[in-house]
Structure 1
């Protein structure tokens, strides 16, 4: 068996979790998530550079993915195949939120004529798991699976509001915020004030922080124990919808839908 060359991060994971930790599986998943709009196809050298893994390890992982039909090679370049979608589909099929909340986002989107989504917190990011978008040529809908930094998105700040004081302080301590737009709040004290303020008022409105020209409004959906389970969100063009309209017209719709969603997920 070839000697395993590990990154410092991998060595720590192996040391912490011991023989129960499946290193090959972890490396495969790590490589899969490197592919995105900027990196649709990559060579072994590019994958090794991005992942920090040895090229020999990358080669074994990619060839394994290729054997499973989850990756394919064109000349020196590797890309993912549609079979990778079975991983996301397995989550959506097994997560009752998607089926239960889809009719609610459909209804909200139809009422306000804007995109409506549901997100959950995954690590330090908000991930869209349900969405509905109106039919129009230009849309600001957030696709299922899209990940947004929690600190600069309305859905993220609502979800961060579900943390207790110690958890929020720990999140802010490890956070390295960057300016997504000129309006992005990166001062940690200011971010904590935004999160706690949004928690108190029961909603978050974020303007131009995650993306220029994009305005978003989100409210929490509570589980049966009164904890924040997920976040319900309307995304809109700042040009098309004013802050006043968002708060006066959309916020009551979101709150009504949130109360309905809390009853649905409690079943």
Structure 2
């Protein structure tokens, strides 16, 4: 069996899977091309990001436009995702049992601490925000559900990795990029391991200015029924208003109790 050059590289490992629909994978690669894009994409850019030929990209973009998932940008120079994609996001969150259980508990936690509360889902090298309950300080992009950050440089990520076996931690640290998001972001795997070890001892992780300057964040992992980490609660606040150790003392018990309520629910 041969694989068409129109097929994106990401789909090729499944070429021998008789149930794998390669045409569907090619289509999904067009939607995935918009991950991380900060503006509308042209056909040429979509083709480059997917590994498709320009003609294949054109056919798939046309199909998604007919279905409503893509629309022409306002200036007519490219394409962007349209509302039906947001409908799918809503349905995912609505049907996710963890998000459903956690939502009322997070609302109560937000009322108690009066700081930003996040629920992030563990997805290997990244933590993906599924719920964000904001304080008064956040920028627009920081407020969006679906935003993701590297697992290795967040309090929730450190707390999650503290529940993993050592070979799994090693694989995550060796295979992940460690971007310097702020001047204080830890990029040395040994320093990150120290934070994971502290999280294992404390039952939570405390991160200082890892994602945003001036921010302190505390994370507690949420395990599934088998004890595997699947998500994390973050509480984040301003260092101009909190001493880090006082923040830890005040927030760690509340975050831990919220996790217990989610797990037992």
TM-score bracket relative to the smaller structure: 0.7 to 0.9
Structure 1 pair 53/211, CA: closer, same or farther in 2 (3 Å)? farther
User: CA offset at residue 7 of structure 1?
Assistant: 4.7
Structure 1 pair 254/44, CA: closer, same or farther in 2 (3 Å)? same
- Runs of 5+ unmatched residues, structure 1: none
Normalised TM-score (structure 1): 0.87
Aligned to 2:237: 236
Q: Deviations over 1:202-245 (max 9, x none)?
A: 11111111222222111122333333332111122232332123
Matched position secondary structure for 1:20: coil
- Which deviates the most, 22-31 or 241-250? 22-31
Matched position secondary structure for 1:19: coil
Aligned to 2:213: 212
Aligned to 1:149: 150
Structure 1 pair 244/197, CA: closer, same or farther in 2 (3 Å)? closer
User: CA offset at residue 257 of structure 1?
Assistant: 1.6
Q: CA contact under 8 A between 1:154 and 1:218: conserved in structure 2? A: yes
Q: CA contact under 8 A between 2:116 and 2:134: conserved in structure 1? A: yes
1:28 aligns with 2:30: no
Q: CA contact under 8 A between 1:101 and 1:130: conserved in structure 2? A: no
User: CA offset at residue 38 of structure 1?
Assistant: 4.8
Aligned to 1:139: 138
> Structure 1: how far apart are the matches of 2:31 and 2:197?
35
User: CA offset at residue 68 of structure 1?
Assistant: 0.9
Q: CA contact under 8 A between 2:5 and 2:52: conserved in structure 1? A: no
> Structure 2: how far apart are the matches of 1:36 and 1:240?
35
> Structure 2: how far apart are the matches of 1:160 and 1:29?
30
> Structure 1: how far apart are the matches of 2:118 and 2:166?
27
User: CA offset at residue 173 of structure 1?
Assistant: 2.1
Aligned to 2:185: 184
Q: Deviations over 1:53-95 (max 9, x none)?
A: 3222222221121111101124341111111112212211221
> Structure 2: how far apart are the matches of 1:162 and 1:54?
43
Q: CA contact under 8 A between 1:218 and 1:233: conserved in structure 2? A: yes
- Runs of 5+ unmatched residues, structure 2: none
Aligned to 2:11: 10
> Structure 2: how far apart are the matches of 1:139 and 1:9?
35
Q: CA-atom RMSD, angstroms?
A: 2.3
Normalised TM-score (structure 2): 0.87
Matched position secondary structure for 1:232: strand
Q: CA contact under 8 A between 1:102 and 1:131: conserved in structure 2? A: no
1:175 aligns with 2:147: no
> Structure 1: how far apart are the matches of 2:9 and 2:223?
39
Matched position secondary structure for 1:126: strand
